[in-house]
Amino acid sequence: MFVNSSKIINIVEKFAPKCDAENWDNVGFQIGNVNSEVDKVLITLDIDDNVIEEAIEKNIDLIIAHHPLIFKPLNNLDQDTYKGKLIAKLIKNDICVYIAHTNLDASSIGLSDYLAEILELSKIEVLSNFIDDPSKGIGRIGYLSSSQNISEFIEFVKSKLNLTNVKFVGELKGKIFKVGLCTGSAMEYYQKAKEKACDIYITGDVKFHEAQDALHTNIKILDVGHFESENIYSKRLKEILDKEFERKGYDVKVVASSVNTNPFLYL
């Protein structure tokens, strides 16, 4: 069955409407022809030169990424710049780009829900509710099946996310039962987790002064890393699209990118 980009976008926006994105975000269709035929979709956290090379090699028609390739308005498309080079390469190879970022974060089958599922939390609820629709929002709260001491819980998280190290703020004593979390960089919500009596808040990109402020509160902070908290994106979205394409009879192959886009090396 002929499937164009717009049909795939409609599927994504059914469970992650663009209107649910933060007002500072830039989500949606960014590059290409929205009516172009799609046989293969590549899911990736970020778009860089290596991801584009992977897309070319695998004959990808549409890239769906989490982090926007075009975030702020562009003044030009100078191919001597890194961003201009990427955009030109995508256009020359007829590869479309669609972004599902904070609208997917807010989705009931988004990244925070998936992280809660990975951590085996139950009784999931929204951490920070939207004013116009309290059933939706950013971040999640959930409960462990039983209380764990902090060291035990940290090792549990590391094993579930395949991490060798994390950053922790607080005293290494007490029990963890109620967990607040938000993938990516989301320390602006830790006070919400505190207000809702979470024992610990999990996120990424915790800044030094944010950690200092949190140190003297009644909530512990676990920084698992920005990339590390969102690296589950490709697998999650592939699972969703595979099921939807099968249900609709779309003959479209979905590929999860194998490129590591983490800019950091841990030495």
Residues annotated within the binding site are 66-67, 105, 226, 230
Query: Amino acid identity of 236?
Result: R
Q: Residues comprising the binding site for a divalent metal cation?
A: 66-67, 105, 226, 230
The closest alpha carbon to 17, from 117, 101, 141, 120, belongs to 101
Quote the distance between the C-alpha of residue 192 and its chain's center. 20
First to last CA, the chain: 49
142 within 8 A of 119, measured Cβ to Cβ: yes
Pick from 190, 200, 202: nearest CA to 226: 202
Pairing assessment for the beta strands 220-223 and 200-204 based on DSSP bridges: parallel
Residues 6+ apart with CB under 8 A from 247: none
Establish how many alpha carbons lie within 13 A of residue 5's alpha carbon, considering only the half-sphere containing its beta carbon.
Answer: 21
Q: Buried b vs exposed e over 193-208: b needs ≥16 C-beta within 10 Å? A: bbebebbbbbbbebee
